[in-house]
Amino acid sequence: MEHDTFREWLDLEADGALGDAERAQLERHLVTCAGCRAERVELARLIGRLAASRVP
């Protein structure tokens, strides 16, 4: 599978739009890919910051 696919799936996961089968494949990929693990952490951090900065 192309590495770009996993990066797209990280975005979908962050949006809550990743299917179960894809999520399982992504989890297996993350075991061996430090770059994608770091990107996942960064996406979660950014989403947290955006959520915290929303104007009521």
Q: What average pLDDT does the segment 21-42 reach?
A: 98
List the structure tokens of 15.
């949006």
Q: How confident is the model at residue 56 (pLDDT cuts 50, 70, 90)?
A: low
Residue 10: is its pLDDT beyond 70?
A: yes
If 0-12 CB within 10 Å is exposed, 13-18 middle and 19+ buried, where does residue 30 land? middle
Asked if 40 contacts 48 with a C-beta cutoff of 8 angstroms, the reply is no
Q: pLDDT tens digit string along 32-49?
A: 999 999 999 999 999 999
Our CA angle for 26, 31, 35, nearest 5°, is 80
Asked if 27 contacts 56 with a C-beta cutoff of 8 angstroms, the reply is no
User: Distance (Å, rounded) from C-alpha 14 to C-alpha 11?
Assistant: 5
